[in-house]
Amino acid sequence: MKPPVPTRSSPVREQQLVHALRRAARLETNGRRISARFTTVRLAIFAGGLFGAVITHKLGWTVFGNLVLAASFVLFLIVAWYHNRLEDRLHRLRRWQGIKRVHLARLSLKWTEIPLRPVTVPERHGYARDLDLAGPRSLLHLIDHTISSQGQQRLASWLLEQAAHATQWSNRQALIRELTPLSLLRDRLVLEAQAVEEADIDGRRLLSVLQKRVDDSGLMPMLLAESVLALTTAALLLADVISGLGNYWMLSFGIYAILFLSVRSRSEEIFDHAQSLHLQLERLSAVLGYLEQRSYRATPHLAKLCSPLQHQHSRPSRSLKQAASLMNRLSVRAHPLVHYLINAIGPWDLFHTYRLQQLQDRIASVAPLWFELLAELDAAASLATFAHLHPAYLWPTLHAAGADGQGNGEAPGLAAAGLAHPLIPAGVRVANDVTFEGRGRIFLVTGSNMSGKSTFLRTIGINTCLAQAGAPVCATAFHWSLVRIGSCIRVDDSLDGGLSFFYAEVKRLKTILDSTRDEQGPPVLWLIDEVFKGTNNRERLIGGRALITALAGGNGFGLVTTHDLELAELERQLSSLTNVHFQETVVDGALHFDYRLKPGPCPTTNALRIMALEGLPIETADPTPPR
């Protein structure tokens, strides 16, 4: 086993980001200066036009004064239009700077500067908590750069669900690799999605609104009736004003008002959505509109994903923009006075509800494709950003596993070199090599407290999750077959479930063991830390021997860490078991760890040393009897 060395990330990406931020800061400074000039010019045009119009009118030059006023008004509008465009670009520039600052924080693992977006994880998920996949300072905290709720859920599913099919995985990795150099596309997606607000696009809710048709029983007849009554009222009112016909218009208006109040509740459901969703629809329309305009000649996998946007009679962005406009008009109900006034003139609510129904009928069957596309692209873009920020990380390779080398496939396994933990700073983390060949392969890891055993298990697990998601891994080589991950690293007792720590651990280990008995599925990569640590030494040793022996005969491979050096003797009985260890050194009375995996069982222990260093009383091995 070659001695591993601490991994160091290339400063290239950091230098590029710093340079880009400095250039953006200069552009922003110049933009603010120009914006201030625009403000001055607008004030000058307003004051000059007003003063010129007043003076010319005072001099009796009425026509010339009107021309001055009109010219200044037009000039003011032109300058204001350019000024607003400049302010919009400055806003987008500031948003872009925010994106790049977060990328810098991701590189240096400044967790407080990386937005934390909560992810729902099943309560009894097999390995999410053990491997720090979700929550503060987790893998999802580091890589989640999605713009939609469905994209976030898709990204989480790639990490939290078990192995995909090989074809599905290869297509996913190919898409992520195509997106990796397209930083402009990824940034543009974020800018379009967050141009108005930073909240996620709630794809699931938007889709349900676009698919759930508003109750249409009697809507068309009611719309026709209200339209006829509104036109009749307008005609009678005009006739009364012109020829003094009489207040007959009040009769038709009264009937119209009764009908309006009787059907008013029909639009309540859509109104509840209209208030909050029209902005999200506009943002989604902008995102899809940008994707519709792109050329995909050099990116075949991205072209295949975005094909629903290219082969439709009406552009999806236009349909979504129409839906946003209808939602915006229906949201006038939030202002009761305006709402009643505008509906007094004509059937505003029913007309726009009818138009929304027509739009729903037109896009109900194709809208799910748009949201599926967005979720897949959104999740892949997050992993592509992760790959772009870490160019030294390796794209893993997948091999088709056979039955222990029989047949056409290779023996299932995992071979990694220079493997390190992506959530540990580059200047601190230490890389190790590990190789599993065939089912039943076990590494029994012994070592002192704090020597790196648990971190090594998490390093293997988190990189395997990245590999199976289609992302690059923190390694110099990574070749593996698809696996199901089973871990027992962090185990807590459950007061709600009435489970003790030991019983919870036993249940977790039973789940792992049962999964290895499934011969049809992919092999299990088990990661077990301090086996049976919830019981006494004698029973832990007996149970540990039995569990390791059973795992050696199952469909999987993995690591088991322990403090019980007696378990190292299993290497004589099980040919598939290999002893490895982590070890510390004592320098000037202090413990030092190199976190390097070494062959064989650990020759030292450090529990008593740690107690002594912290000032706790300990017994010597051969205490002197009292006199």
Q: What is the pLDDT of residue 33?
A: 95
Q: What is the pLDDT of residue 588?
A: 66
Better-scored residue on pLDDT, 241 or 16: 16
Residue 50, Cα to own-chain centre: how many angstroms? 54
pLDDT band (50, 70, 90) for residue 406: very low
Non-local CB neighbours of 7 within 8 Å, separated by 6+ positions: 392, 418, 420, 426, 429, 430, 431, 474
Interval 475-498: pLDDT, tens: 999 999 999 999 999 877 554 444
Q: What is the pLDDT of residue 488?
A: 92
The pLDDT of 391-410, averaged and rounded, is 71
Could you give the CA distance from residue 76 to residue 52 in angstroms, rounded to a whole number?
A: 14
Better-scored residue on pLDDT, 314 or 508: 508
Could you give the CA distance from residue 280 to residue 286 in angstroms, rounded to a whole number?
A: 10
Q: What is the pLDDT of residue 627?
A: 43
pLDDT band (50, 70, 90) for residue 586: low
Interval 263-303: pLDDT, tens: 776 666 666 666 667 788 888 899 999 999 888 989 999 99
SS3 419: strand
211-220, 407-416, 528-537: range with lowest mean pLDDT:
211-220
CB atoms within 10 A of CB 170: 14
70-74, 143-147, 417-421, 613-617: range with lowest mean pLDDT:
613-617
Q: What is the pLDDT of residue 326?
A: 86
φ/ψ of 479, rounded to 5, equals: -135, 120
Could you give the CA distance from residue 585 to residue 591 in angstroms, rounded to a whole number?
A: 6
pLDDT band (50, 70, 90) for residue 2: very low
Non-local CB neighbours of 621 within 8 Å, separated by 6+ positions: none
Please, what is the average pLDDT of the chain? Answer: 86
H or E element that contains 465: helix 453-469
Side-by-side strand order, sheet with 432-437: 397-398, 477-480, 413-419, 432-437
Contact 284, 319 (CB under 8 A): no
Contact 533, 540 (CB under 8 A): yes
The pLDDT of 304-310, averaged and rounded, is 88
H or E element that contains 418: strand 413-419
Tokens of 318: 């236009």
Q: What is the pLDDT of residue 497?
A: 47
Rounded to the nearest 10°, the torsion over CA 328, 332, 333, 336 is 160
Rounded to the nearest 10°, the torsion over CA 399, 403, 407, 413 is 30
Residue in the structure block whose two tokens are 């008013």: 264
pLDDT at 419 over 50: yes
246: left (phi over 0), alpha (psi -120 to 50) or beta: left
Could you give the CA distance from residue 627 to residue 616 in angstroms, rounded to a whole number?
A: 25
- CA dist list (Å): 124 to 9, 299, 487: 35, 39, 12
Could you give the CA distance from residue 232 to residue 220 in angstroms, rounded to a whole number?
A: 18
Tokens of 48: 């000059």
Of the candidates 17, 24, 188, the one whose C-alpha atom is nearest the C-alpha of residue 100 is: 17
pLDDT at 621 over 90: no
The amino acid that residue 528 corresponds to is I
H or E element that contains 528: strand 524-528
pTM, two decimals, is 0.87
pLDDT at 260 over 60: yes
Could you give the CA distance from residue 179 to residue 377 in angstroms, rounded to a whole number?
A: 9
The pLDDT of 495-502, averaged and rounded, is 59
Tokens of 222: 């009611």
The pLDDT of 402-411, averaged and rounded, is 53
Tokens of 415: 């071979």
The pLDDT of 206-216, averaged and rounded, is 74
The pLDDT of 529-542, averaged and rounded, is 84
The pLDDT of 181-195, averaged and rounded, is 91
Tokens of 106: 């991701």
pLDDT at 417 over 60: yes
The amino acid that residue 429 corresponds to is R
Could you give the CA distance from residue 260 to residue 147 in angstroms, rounded to a whole number?
A: 40
Above pLDDT 90, what percent of the chain? 48
pLDDT band (50, 70, 90) for residue 404: very low
Better-scored residue on pLDDT, 470 or 501: 470
Q: What is the pLDDT of residue 245?
A: 80
Better-scored residue on pLDDT, 266 or 122: 122
Interval 36-74: pLDDT, tens: 999 999 999 999 888 888 888 888 888 888 888 899 999
Interval 440-464: pLDDT, tens: 999 999 988 788 899 999 999 999 9
The amino acid that residue 348 corresponds to is W
* Cα angle for residues 155, 152, 492 (degrees, 5° grid): 75
Could you give the CA distance from residue 592 to residue 451 in angstroms, rounded to a whole number?
A: 9
The pLDDT of 522-548, averaged and rounded, is 89
Integer-rounded Cα Rg, in Å, for the chain is 34
Q: What is the pLDDT of residue 479?
A: 96
The amino acid that residue 300 corresponds to is P
Could you give the CA distance from residue 468 to residue 409 in angstroms, rounded to a whole number?
A: 19
Q: What is the pLDDT of residue 1?
A: 42
Non-local CB neighbours of 442 within 8 Å, separated by 6+ positions: 548, 551, 552, 557, 558, 559, 560, 574, 576, 577, 578
- CA dist list (Å): 370 to 154, 265, 289, 294: 14, 31, 12, 16
Interval 360-381: pLDDT, tens: 888 888 888 899 999 999 999 9
